Amino acid sequence: MKSILILLYDYYPTPSANTYCTDNIFNAFIEEGYELYIITTKSQLRQKSITSLEKKITIVRRFILIDYINRIAHILKYKLLKSFLLKIIRVLSSNKIDGYTGYYNSKSNFKKTYKLMKKKKIDKIISFSFPFATHQLAYNLKSRDKSIKWISYEFDPFAYNYTLNSQLLDARKKLEIETFIECDLIISTLGIINKNTQEDFRKEYLNKNIEFALPNLSIKEYARNKTYNAKIKMAYLGAFYEGIRTPKRLFDILNSKNIEDIEVHLYGDYNPSVYKDLLIPKNVHIHGKITKQQAHDVIVNSDILINFGNIMTNQFPSKMFEYMSYGKPILNFYYSLTKTEKIYIDKYKNILNLSNYSEDSRDLELLIEFCRKNKNYTIEASLLKERLSEYTSNVVVTNIIKQVKKYFEDI
């Protein structure tokens, strides 16, 4: 049996972007006859340390104290206790370039993972980031055993990650170069490495890089418009993060005029710090976390889907591909549109882009016109496949697997 060690910070049941983006890739590996051992983190204390799934996937969950403290802190309602726990995290992670997630690359996790590789005779690794600590762990494992074949997969930028401390840019660049020179292949999300190519990164690193679109555009075949909405129903599914992703611009637009035929629903983890200085419009409804099936039902029964871009402008949000899968009209609030984003948007067509920096009063009329024009409208699956065929998950994953097999079986 061919086995691959997967280093992945979050995995089911944690509903992260990395979880959803890796799902199609892992299923393809299983179809190719690989067995996967996934080293991930515990999101709950009562989770089993080892879970074997029928489809030849073994999930090994590691308990990381600082990660668990962080998870607790972000769901606390008591501000003083939350503030105290966050201060502990800042102190404990002050020596880590990538913050508390750097503890994934601990001595304990290294020893346990290396022991597992020897026991199961695994000599292949794929490390998925974010965080970068997954690559650091892979680097340390390969340094111990040079016969290991290692592929790093970059969903998110690291050196030029604008959500991280800007004063540590040079340190991140140095670490990124030193780490990636040792891997056999770099697979990265289309466009995220563009900044690196402009900043004199060493060729030994850049020449290993192959870019692909995100592997989660699975065009959905479903009953369109299952319910008729009396009002125009808009929905956002996801989390907000203070200083990174905010609904402020949408709230400003909706507060400028009473729009009786539009209602907005926000689903996901509730973060009170995001809303503390915002005036929530009367037609905005804030819901909590929902299941994957509930999210599907919300999307199917909404008229317009909303995307709130974050400040990391050298990245295309995976949520946009998820939205495109359904053919729904999309209201996209952005900080900056990259060349790669414009390609996807131009092909999809039915998107209204509004800048988070804008204060233009005409945005209100653009929003109203877009919503009313697209009420109960969905792009047919056949037309979606025609427009986005080269970016669908089947095509992207097939090409990824070809490259992985080439390097794992030929080098």
Give residue 393's identity as a one-letter amino acid code. Answer: S
pLDDT grade, residue 70 (50/70/90)?
confident
- 132 and 49 part of one domain: yes
Cβ distance 400 to 187 under 8 Å?
yes
Number of separate domains in the chain = 2
Asked if residue 124 has pLDDT above 80, the reply is yes
CATH label of the domain that carries residue 377 = 3.40.50.2000
At 54 the pLDDT is 61
Cβ distance 9 to 134 under 8 Å?
yes
Who's near 309: CB < 8 A, 6+ residues apart? 245, 317, 332, 333, 334, 335, 356
Could you tell me if residue 226 is inside a domain?
Answer: no
pTM beyond 0.95, yes or no: no
Could you tell me if residue 224 is inside a domain?
Answer: no
pLDDT in tens, 129-186: 888 889 999 999 999 999 999 999 988 878 777 667 777 788 888 888 888 888 888 8
- 112 and 151 part of one domain: yes
At 252 the pLDDT is 92
The angle at the Cα of 102, spanning 99 to 103, to the nearest 5 degrees, equals: 115
At 235 the pLDDT is 95
Could you tell me if residue 269 is inside a domain?
Answer: yes
More confident residue, 379 or 276: 379
- 367 and 396 part of one domain: no
At 52 the pLDDT is 65
At 95 the pLDDT is 66
- 246 and 110 part of one domain: no
Could you tell me if residue 28 is inside a domain?
Answer: yes
SS3 of residue 316 by DSSP: coil
More confident residue, 194 or 408: 408
At 14 the pLDDT is 74
CB-facing half-sphere around the CA of 271: CA atoms within 13 A? 17
Could you tell me if residue 113 is inside a domain?
Answer: yes
Give the single-character DSSP code of 271.
Answer: -
At 148 the pLDDT is 92
- 86 and 158 part of one domain: yes
Angstrom distance (rounded) from CA 339 to CA 343: 7
Give residue 272's identity as a one-letter amino acid code. Answer: P
- 339 and 402 part of one domain: no
Angstrom distance (rounded) from CA 347 to CA 394: 18
Could you tell me if residue 186 is inside a domain?
Answer: yes
As a whole number, mean pLDDT of residues 42-70 equals 76
Who's near 99: CB < 8 A, 6+ residues apart? 93, 131, 164
User: Token pair 């972000």 is at which residue?
Assistant: 74
Angstrom distance (rounded) from CA 245 to CA 240: 5
- Residues of the chain above pLDDT 70, percent: 89
As a whole number, mean pLDDT of residues 365-392 equals 89
**384's tokens:** 């979606």
- 171 and 27 part of one domain: yes
As a whole number, mean pLDDT of residues 78-102 equals 75
Q: Which residues of 340-358 are buried (b: 16+ CB within 10 A; e: fewer)?
A: bbeebbeebebbbbbbbee
Q: Smallest Cα–Cα separation from 216: which of 155, 299, 307, 298?
A: 155
- 384 and 400 part of one domain: no
- Angle, helices 65-73/79-92, rounded to nearest 10 degrees: 150
Could you tell me if residue 282 is inside a domain?
Answer: yes
**Is 160 exposed, middle or buried, given 0-12, 13-18 or 19+ CB atoms closer than 10 A?**
buried
Backbone angles phi, psi at 33, to 5 degrees: 95, 10
pLDDT in tens, 232-276: 999 999 888 777 788 999 999 999 888 888 999 999 877 777 778
Give the residue numbers spanning the domain of 301: 232-388
| CA torsion through residues 341, 346, 349, 352, sign | positive
Asked if residue 187 has pLDDT above 60, the reply is yes
